[in-house]
């Protein structure tokens, strides 16, 4: 599979022959990696995998498979899974229409007639006007709404926010005895100033603890919602 020839609406994982740490730096900054990771936190999907794909999530399992059995690189590359689930349909090319049978009417195409007897500069100007009116952007970036992928990315995202929410969620599971502000300090969430103040025993620490607790609560809520969304075949999905 030549992934360079596949078109993805978002940055896709790149796997090379470089050191493992360098490879991870490339693929861990992609929304697809976090889709895989958040799905692994879905307990209902975990049970579905234990049952070999049986149950209410059988359809999702047929596409995503057992994410607990394979590391991300193997999971992505197995049977071209990454491209099959997330790649877009091939982009159309600019071409000359020579006969009526070649004409395709679509809201994704702008069909233009250019009288060649007119001056080139005039035609270029008119074509620019049409593109300015009908084209969605300078680079023609396909929006999620227009995506042709089997599983389009749902909504906006920031990879560092996804990483933080996942980190906070995992640390909460591993450290249930910590208070919320202590969890924020441990996970390095919130400002450095608030984390330092919260660790002191004075009246200034009270407000900082509240701020940190609120931040962690929000991240945990977002993480749980994204885990739920991943189990529904959408990611990151709307936040509540």
pLDDT digits (tens, 9 = 90+) for 20-59: 656 667 788 999 999 999 999 999 999 999 999 999 999 9
| Higher-scoring residue by pLDDT: 218, 24 | 218
Q: Tokens in use for 189?
A: 């969430």
Q: Are 199 and 205 in contact (CB under 8 A)?
A: yes
Q: Tokens in use for 227?
A: 């885990």
Q: Are 62 and 45 in contact (CB under 8 A)?
A: no
Whether pLDDT at 115 is above 80:
yes
Q: Which of 57-61, 63-67, 135-139, 160-164 has the lowest mean pLDDT?
A: 135-139
| Domain membership of residue 185 as a residue range | 159-230
Q: Are 108 and 92 in contact (CB under 8 A)?
A: yes
Instruction: With respect to residue 210, please indicate whether it lies within any of the assigned structural domains.
Output: yes
Whether pLDDT at 202 is above 70:
no
Q: φ, ψ for residue 202 (rounded to 5)? A: -150, 175
Largest pairwise CA distance in the chain: 83
Alpha helices in 90-203 (DSSP H): 120-134, 159-174, 180-187, 192-198
Q: Tokens in use for 146?
A: 């227009």
What is residue 234's three-state secondary structure? coil
* 186 and 226 part of one domain: yes
Q: Are 200 and 163 in contact (CB under 8 A)?
A: no
Tally of structural domains, the chain: 3
What is residue 107's three-state secondary structure? coil
Instruction: With respect to residue 52, please indicate whether it lies within any of the assigned structural domains.
Output: yes
pLDDT tier for residue 2 given thresholds of 50, 70 and 90: very low
pLDDT tier for residue 139 given thresholds of 50, 70 and 90: very low
* 52 and 81 part of one domain: yes
* 78 and 104 part of one domain: no
Q: What is the pLDDT of residue 125?
A: 94
Question: pTM here?
Answer: 0.77
* 59 and 17 part of one domain: yes
pLDDT tier for residue 128 given thresholds of 50, 70 and 90: very high
Q: What is the mean pLDDT of residues 15-19?
A: 69
Strand ranges (DSSP E) for the chain? none
Instruction: With respect to residue 240, please indicate whether it lies within any of the assigned structural domains.
Output: no
CA distance 219 to 4: 34
Task: Look up residue 87 and give its DSSP letter.
Answer: B
Instruction: With respect to residue 172, please indicate whether it lies within any of the assigned structural domains.
Output: yes
């Amino acid at each position: 599979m030549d992934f360079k020839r596949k078109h993805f609406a978002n940055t896709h994982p790149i796997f090379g022959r470089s050191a493992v740490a360098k490879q991870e730096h490339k693929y861990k900054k992609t929304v697809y990696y976090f889709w895989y990771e958040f799905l692994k936190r879905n307990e209902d999907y975990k049970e579905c995998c234990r049952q070999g794909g049986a149950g209410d999530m059988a359809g999702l399992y047929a596409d995503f498979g057992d994410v607990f059995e394979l590391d991300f690189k193997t999971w992505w590359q197995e049977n071209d899974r990454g491209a099959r689930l997330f790649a877009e349909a091939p982009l159309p090319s600019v071409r000359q229409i020579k006969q009526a049978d070649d004409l395709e009417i679509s809201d994704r195409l702008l069909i233009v007639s250019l009288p060649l007897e007119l001056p080139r500069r005039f035609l270029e100007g008119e074509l620019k006007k049409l593109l300015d009116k009908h084209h969605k952007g300078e680079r023609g970036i396909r929006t999620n709404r227009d995506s042709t992928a089997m599983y389009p990315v749902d909504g906006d995202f920031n990879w560092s926010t996804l990483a933080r929410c996942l980190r906070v969620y995992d640390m909460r599971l591993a450290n249930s005895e910590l208070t919320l502000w202590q969890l924020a300090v441990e996970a390095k969430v919130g400002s450095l100033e608030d984390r330092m103040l919260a660790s002191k025993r004075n009246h200034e620490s009270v407000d900082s603890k509240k701020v940190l607790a609120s931040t962690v609560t929000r991240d945990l809520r977002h993480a749980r919602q994204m885990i739920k969304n991943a189990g529904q075949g959408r990611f990151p999905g709307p936040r509540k």
